[in-house]
Amino acid sequence: MKQICIVICLFLLTAFGANAQSKRSLEVISYSGTKSIFIGEGASVQVIKNGHKYNGYLKILSDQLIIINSDTILISQVQGIRARTSSSQLNGIALVVPGTIIGGLGVAGAVAGAIEGGYALVAAIFVVPVAAIGIVGTIKGIQLLSNGKKFPSSKWKYKIAIPSN
């Protein structure tokens, strides 16, 4: 039974690897050259061109053209891209979970201190910033989960990565 599981896992890894190598993608590279992110074909993106936002799914036409829904856009005309990448999803989850816990505990501490009065009221004043930090973290995490990360052309350059077969 253990050998069957190992064979199935290896088969799935091989299938995923072959699929990842055959997909065209948009490579977003930081100008400093330290970061490189791939946005795969079919990903949900928002592209900004001449101040107009195009929302839809990414399709790569050639090494210079992308299609968002039915709009054809030159890579050189793109002013910014917002995409949900795996790292933005992980960062969003990493902010939402502890942010919710910290914010909830901070609010509960502030309410409990306000109800008790006396010295507990002084403690409640110190707990309010903790609640604010938790709430801000939760909001930022939800934004990352729903909208993704921004890649403005002032900080990132765009290149089509087409695998050679």
As to burial, measured by CB atoms within 10 angstroms (0-12 exposed, 13-18 middle, 19+ buried), residue 76 is exposed
Angstrom CA distances, 32 to 24, 78, 84, 92, 156, stand at: 24, 19, 22, 24, 9
Tell me the C-alpha to C-alpha distance, in Å, between residue 135 and each of 3, 103, 123, 139.
48, 5, 19, 6
For residues 142 and 164, give the distance between their C-alpha atoms in angstroms, rounded to a whole number: 37
Residue 5 is predicted with a pLDDT of 67
Per-residue pLDDT, 20: 53
H helix intervals, 85-164: 86-116, 119-147
Q: How far apart are the first and last CA of the chain?
A: 36
Q: What is the pLDDT of residue 140?
A: 92
pLDDT of residue 39: 86
State the residue for tokens 């210079």: 64
* CA dihedral angle for residue 71, residue 74, residue 75, residue 76, rounded to 10 degrees: -140
Look at residue 76 in the predicted model and tell me its pLDDT.
86
pLDDT for 164 equals 62
Q: What is the mean pLDDT of each run of 10 residues along the chain (165 residues)?
A: 70 57 78 85 87 88 86 88 84 93 90 81 83 93 87 88 68
Q: How far is CA 121 from the centre of its chain?
A: 39
Query: Tokens 């891209």, residue?
Result: 81
Tell me how far apart the alpha carbons of residues 132 and 138 are, in angstroms, rounded to a whole number.
Answer: 10
User: Residue 71's pLDDT is what?
Assistant: 84
Q: Tell me what pLDDT residue 117 has.
A: 78
Of the candidates 10, 13, 75, 21, the one whose C-alpha atom is nearest the C-alpha of residue 49 is 75
